[in-house]
């Protein structure tokens, strides 16, 4: 998230709109946005509907045993087609903003 | 008592202690900051190396007590390092215990449509994310969906 925010001008210049999705309630995401000065969109999937549809449910993956989303990134073009995706093997590892931008460059 | 001048520094002890502290730091850092793909392996390698050095320091202290100190400190640190190794391995496997997501949309497939509330509570559909953002005339060519574990 931090990396995306730091490179947000470059994402915008390349025509990429980052959108974060988690089980967090809108108020929790809004608090995160304000305290961390994130300016991109955060969506709330508190009922895990979309997370299930994308097969990203991590059952009891939360620290309190709650169901959450596993980390994953998708680049979706204007036709609604997935052009690039990434599924980490370790929750501590995420793609760097430069990797995401490199993937975005391949999309016309 | 042997002459103090004959004693040599049990360097493996101090090297082991340094690696032990680095191993704790690496484990903490890996959970506080998102890291590169190779970093989790460092969180395994450091405590194992620390344990190797501390064990050799302890063996040395028991075999040649006239030369090397560290029977008690070496033994205690080696036990702590062994515990840290076990914890690091548990963290490593825990962090990699992630569902396979075999049913996730593949490259070339359509991304399933959705409508979700944004952080201000406003309902937002996937298609709406492609409309030009405020202050930008050009609509985005792609949306980067970043699913994350959540902010606690």
Q: Mind listing the pLDDT tens digit for each residue in A37-66?
A: 999 999 999 999 999 999 999 999 988 899
Q: Is residue B106 part of a domain?
A: no
**Do residue B142 and residue A104 have CB atoms under 8 angstroms apart?**
yes
Task: Indicate whether B1 pLDDT > 80.
Answer: no
d(CA B73, CA B56): 13
Name the residue with tokens 């496997």: B93
pLDDT at position B27, please?
Answer: 94
Burial string for A77-105 (b: 16+ CB within 10 Å, else e) reads beebbbbbbebbebbbbbbebeebbebbe
B147 or A2, higher pLDDT: B147
pLDDT at position A26, please?
Answer: 97
Task: Indicate whether B2 pLDDT > 60.
Answer: no
Structural domain boundaries enclosing B71 = 4-95
pLDDT at position B33, please?
Answer: 82
d(CA A24, CA B85): 34
Task: Indicate whether B114 pLDDT > 70.
Answer: yes
pTM over 0.80: yes
Q: Which residue of A has its CA nearest to B93?
A: A90
pLDDT at position B134, please?
Answer: 65
Closest CA to B99 of A94, A22, A56, A52: A56
Q: How far is CA B57 from the centre of its chain?
A: 26
pLDDT at position A106, please?
Answer: 85
The CATH H-level (homologous superfamily) assignment of domain A2-105 is: Glutaredoxin (3.40.30.10)
Percent of chain B scoring above 70 in pLDDT: 93
Name the residue with tokens 């002890």: B13
Mean per-residue pLDDT over chain A, rounded? 94
Residue of A59, A68, A87 with shortest CB distance to B150:
A68
pLDDT at position B35, please?
Answer: 80
Cβ atoms B10, B61 nearer than 8 A: yes
pLDDT at position A32, please?
Answer: 95
Look at chain B and report how many structural domains it folds into: 1
**Do residue B141 and residue A55 have CB atoms under 8 angstroms apart?**
no
**Do residue B98 and residue A23 have CB atoms under 8 angstroms apart?**
no
d(CA A64, CA A101): 34
Estimate the crossing angle of helix B39-63 against helix B11-32, to 10 degrees. 160
Task: Indicate whether A101 pLDDT > 60.
Answer: yes
Lookup: tokens for A95: 């793609």
Cβ atoms A70, B149 nearer than 8 A: yes
Name the residue with tokens 């709330």: A44
pLDDT at position A107, please?
Answer: 82
**Do residue B148 and residue A71 have CB atoms under 8 angstroms apart?**
yes
d(CA A59, CA A17): 29
Q: Is the ipTM of this complex over 0.90?
A: yes
Name the residue with tokens 């300016």: A39
**Which residues from A are below 8 Å from B131, CB to CB?**
none
Cβ atoms B88, B47 nearer than 8 A: yes
d(CA B112, CA B57): 59
Task: Indicate whether A69 pLDDT > 80.
Answer: yes
Closest CA to A87 of B104, B110, B43, B111: B104
How near does any CA of chain A get to the CA of B129, in Å? 8
Q: Is residue B131 part of a domain?
A: no
Q: Where are the beta strands (DSSP E) in A1-108?
A: 16-22, 41-44, 57-58, 68-69, 72-77, 82-87
């Amino acid at each position: 998230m931090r990396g995306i925010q730091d490179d947000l001008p470059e994402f915008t210049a390349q025509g990429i709109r980052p959108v974060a999705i988690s089980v967090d309630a809108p108020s929790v995401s809004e608090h995160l946005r304000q305290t961390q000065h994130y300016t991109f969109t955060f969506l709330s999937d508190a009922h895990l509907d979309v997370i299930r549809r994308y097969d990203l449910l991590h059952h009891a993956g939360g620290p309190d045993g709650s169901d959450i989303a596993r980390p994953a990134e998708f680049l979706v073009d204007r036709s609604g087609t997935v052009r690039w995706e990434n599924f980490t093997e370790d929750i501590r590892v995420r793609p760097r903003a430069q990797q995401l931008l490199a993937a975005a460059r391949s999309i016309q | 008592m042997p002459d103090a001048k004959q004693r040599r520094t049990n360097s493996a002890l101090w090297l082991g202690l340094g690696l032990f502290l680095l191993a704790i730091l690496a484990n903490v850092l890996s959970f506080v900051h998102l890291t590169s793909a190779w970093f989790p392996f460092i969180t395994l390698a450091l405590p194992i190396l620390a344990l190797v050095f501390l064990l050799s320091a302890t063996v040395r202290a028991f075999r040649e007590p006239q030369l090397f100190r560290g029977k008690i400190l070496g033994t205690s640190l080696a036990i702590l390092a062994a515990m840290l190794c076990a914890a690091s391995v548990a963290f490593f496997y825990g962090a990699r215990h992630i569902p396979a997501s075999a049913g996730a949309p593949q490259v070339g497939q359509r991304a399933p449509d959705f409508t979700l509330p944004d952080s201000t509570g406003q309902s937002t559909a996937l298609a709406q994310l492609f409309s030009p953002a405020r202050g930008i005339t050009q609509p985005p060519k792609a949306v980067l969906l970043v699913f994350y574990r959540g902010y606690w």
